Amino acid sequence: MGIYLVRFEKMGEMFWGVKEDDQIIPVSNVNTLQELMRHYLNDLREITEKQKDNSFSINEVKLVAPVTPNAIICQGVNYSSHREETGVDVQKPPFNLIFSKAASSISGPYDPIVKPERVKLLDYEIELAIVLKKEIHPCSRIEEDNLHEYILGVTIANDVSARDIQFLEHQWLKGKSFRTFCPVGPYVYVPEPDEIHEIFQLELELSVNGEIRQKANTSQLLYKPVETLNELAQVMDLSPGDLLLTGTPGGVAMQFSQDEMSLLSSLSTGYDEKKNIIDRHDSCKYLKEGDMVEATIYGAGGIHLGTQRNEVVLERRLSK
């Protein structure tokens, strides 16, 4: 088995550690995941063995997001179930839909999701997030047998989305990048090289107030990690510690009809017409104040990425 990497706050300071059962073994207080990988990654097992006497209960600390990326790259409509509910062909499309979120949207696994006053249609999207270990550049050649060299591990991410901003203003980056719109964690699972492919056969499950909304297996991804990373290598540079969100399955709150989705997605549709569609959209599944969103990812082989619990709060309440 691999290890579970965590980042936590204790007595006002941030530390990195390894989770074993309900205990945390401290590793380092370096600032970023990139620094941890550079200085400690190859010796993590040796360090944790030496530090076991200094372990403490996970309940004694506050877990924060276990990543510090410079970039968050996302895949869209990468499950057939999500493609079907958005009114597009359920088969694998001829191209990989790629977009991004601001790194400042990252929040902790138990932090509130802040709903801006201007946002009416707040949605959730559970995703398996890949944490990169190696730089991606034009000469990168990622294969099934060297995938472990490029991937540090995986964690849970929630691609929280303001659908009215995303479609009314036709701005995905803005609609997905408000602060707190990317809860991550609680753990990064760092697999052994020979179990790298097990992390792509995991169960995803998201619930709102105890009602299961999304459930799928990462084996259902249409564009797999090897294919996606090779494509990204021909487009952009990525650095160790960056995140790739692999897409969300069906069950999101957004339930526009196929005709409505076509109009909302078209640049030729006028603003007023889009606003009319948004204003009369009354799905009760959108997130509202007080909702509790829980997201978990686990596998039959014993891998468990933990459970996020994020309450939805209103922006104006926090500002008082």
Which amino acid is present at 285?
K
Q: Distance (Å, rounded) from C-alpha 315 to C-alpha 312? A: 10
Query: Does residue 88 share a domain with residue 25?
Result: no
Query: Does residue 56 share a domain with residue 7?
Result: yes
Q: Which residues pair with 162 in a beta bridge?
A: 122
Is the distance from CB of 79 to CB of 23 less than 8 angstroms? no
Angle at 215 between CA 211 and CA 218, to 5 degrees: 155
CA atoms within 13 A on the CB side of 227: 13
Query: Does residue 246 share a domain with residue 119?
Result: yes
Q: Distance (Å, rounded) from C-alpha 185 to C-alpha 7? A: 9
Query: Does residue 136 share a domain with residue 190?
Result: yes
Helix spans in the chain (H): 33-40, 44-51, 80-85, 147-150, 163-168, 172-175, 225-233, 258-265, 271-279, 315-319
- Give the pLDDT score at 222: 94
Measuring CA to CA, which residue among 190, 45, 46, 24 is closest to residue 10?
24
Question: What's the structural domain count of the chain?
Answer: 2
Q: Which residues pair with 212 in a beta bridge?
A: 207
Query: Does residue 150 share a domain with residue 124?
Result: yes
Q: Is the dihedral of CA 221, 223, 226, 228 positive or negative?
A: negative
Quote the domain boundaries for residue 89. 72-319
| Rounded average pLDDT per 10-residue block, the chain, 320 residues | 95 94 94 95 92 94 97 94 80 92 98 95 97 97 96 98 91 97 98 91 97 96 96 98 96 86 85 85 87 95 95 76
Output the six-digit token pair for 15. 């530390």
Query: Does residue 167 share a domain with residue 20?
Result: no
Query: Could you read off the pLDDT of 164-208 as tens digits, one per residue?
Result: 999 888 899 999 999 999 999 999 999 999 999 888 999 999 999
- Give the pLDDT score at 260: 84
- Give the pLDDT score at 320: 47
Name, in order, each residue with C-beta under 8 angstroms of 121's C-beta and a sequence gap of 6 or more.
Answer: 162, 163, 164, 253, 254, 278, 281, 283, 286
Is the distance from CB of 186 to CB of 304 less than 8 angstroms? no
Alpha-carbon Rg for the chain in angstroms: 20
Query: Does residue 126 share a domain with residue 28?
Result: no
Q: Distance (Å, rounded) from C-alpha 286 to C-alpha 123? A: 6
- Give the pLDDT score at 317: 56
Measuring CA to CA, which residue among 6, 202, 231 is closest to residue 141?
231
Measuring CA to CA, which residue among 257, 312, 259, 310 is closest to residue 281?
257
Residue at a domain's end among 64, 83, 114: 64
Residue at a domain's end among 64, 86, 105: 64
Measuring CA to CA, which residue among 61, 56, 48 is closest to residue 11?
61
CATH number for position 231: 3.90.850.10
Query: Does residue 139 share a domain with residue 244?
Result: yes
Query: Does residue 231 share a domain with residue 167?
Result: yes
Query: Does residue 178 share a domain with residue 295?
Result: yes
Query: Does residue 94 share a domain with residue 207?
Result: yes
Query: Could you read off the pLDDT of 292-320 as tens digits, one per residue?
Result: 999 999 997 899 999 999 999 998 755 54
The structure's pTM equals: 0.95
Residue at a domain's end among 28, 46, 64: 64
Query: Does residue 263 share a domain with residue 132?
Result: yes
